[in-house]
């Protein structure tokens, strides 16, 4: 299957180049950017599996994507949550080292890896988006490494909530798109520890929990101190 794609610079009815599309689900109705192939996924659907050929780089248009790895003892480690604007699927080798799944309904755009340099050369905005996306991903990966190795359970939860508030909300009230199981697997904790930590922060007046996923940061300064 091939999908014809036209760059921004083209005014012709004919495509300037053709990209071989992966076997995705039905394309989303979302208006497609000038290059790339747009596709939608439902909750928990797999975008690519660990060990698949790394033929595409992805950008999230809406929703949330998690990338994770299944460890030899059966535990799952969630590497990152990718929100709108984030880039994922970048690999140095020929295979994906992690699998990628939709946390909820999401829309992504796929860029064929072998054509990416040409596409970025023809589209300044795409080049800027890719560069900034990769830089943000690198910073988050470094922060996550420090979080896993050096922080207590409460400190991990505080760091996670502050990060999510910055990324998905314009206020101190946020709806977490991921489950507590996902949070536990991301922070290297058990789900019981995550639940106890949320309850402890609520009792201390640091957060409010109107529902399991709706969190109000009542005392952001206290969270910042835990995050220091």
> Domains in the chain, start-ordered, CATH in brackets?
2-148 (2.60.120.10), 151-227 (1.10.10.10)
Judge contact between 66 and 182, C-beta under 8 A.
Answer: yes
Q: Which of 10, 84, 7, 96 is nearest to 47 (CA)?
A: 96
Return the sign of the alpha-carbon dihedral for residues 181, 184, 189, 193: negative
If the chain, 228 residues long, is cut into consecutive pieces of 10 residues, what is the mean pLDDT of each piece?
A: 37 34 42 72 98 94 96 91 92 93 97 82 80 79 74 92 90 94 96 97 97 95 92
Q: Which of 138, 136, 134, 108 is nearest to 120 (CA)?
A: 134
- 191-203 vs 180-187: helix axis angle to the nearest 10? 100
Measured distance CA(28)–CA(107) in Å, rounded: 7
Measured distance CA(95)–CA(145) in Å, rounded: 22
Are β-strands 17-20 and 46-48 bridged in parallel, bridged antiparallel, or unpaired? Answer: unpaired
Provide the pLDDT for residue 17: 31
Provide the pLDDT for residue 198: 97
Judge contact between 106 and 62, C-beta under 8 A.
Answer: yes
Provide the pLDDT for residue 139: 79
Provide the pLDDT for residue 160: 94
Cα atoms in the 13 Å half-sphere on the side-chain side of 29: 0
Provide the pLDDT for residue 118: 80
């Amino acid at each position: 299957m091939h999908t014809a794609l036209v760059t921004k610079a083209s005014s012709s009815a004919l495509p300037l180049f053709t990209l071989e599309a992966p076997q995705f689900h039905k394309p989303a109705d979302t208006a497609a950017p000038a290059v790339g192939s747009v596709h939608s996924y439902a909750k928990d659907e797999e975008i690519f599996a660990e060990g698949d050929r790394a033929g595409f780089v992805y950008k999230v248009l809406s929703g949330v994507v998690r990338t994770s790895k299944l460890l030899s003892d059966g535990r799952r480690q969630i590497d990152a949550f990718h929100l709108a604007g984030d880039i994922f699927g970048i690999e140095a080798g020929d295979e994906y080292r992690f699998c990628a799944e939709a946390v909820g309904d999401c829309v992504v755009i796929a860029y064929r890896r072998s054509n990416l340099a040409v596409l970025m050369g023809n589209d300044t905005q795409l080049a800027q988006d890719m560069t900034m996306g990769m830089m943000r991903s690198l910073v988050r990966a470094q922060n996550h490494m420090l979080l896993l190795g050096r922080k207590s359970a409460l400190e991990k939860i505080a760091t996670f909530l502050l990060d999510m508030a910055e990324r998905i909300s314009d206020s101190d009230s946020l709806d977490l798109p991921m489950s507590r199981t996902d949070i536990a697997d991301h922070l290297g904790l058990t789900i019981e520890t995550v639940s106890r930590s949320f309850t402890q922060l609520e009792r201390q007046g640091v957060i409010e929990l109107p529902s399991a996923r709706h969190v109000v940061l009542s005392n952001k300064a206290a969270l910042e101190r835990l995050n220091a």
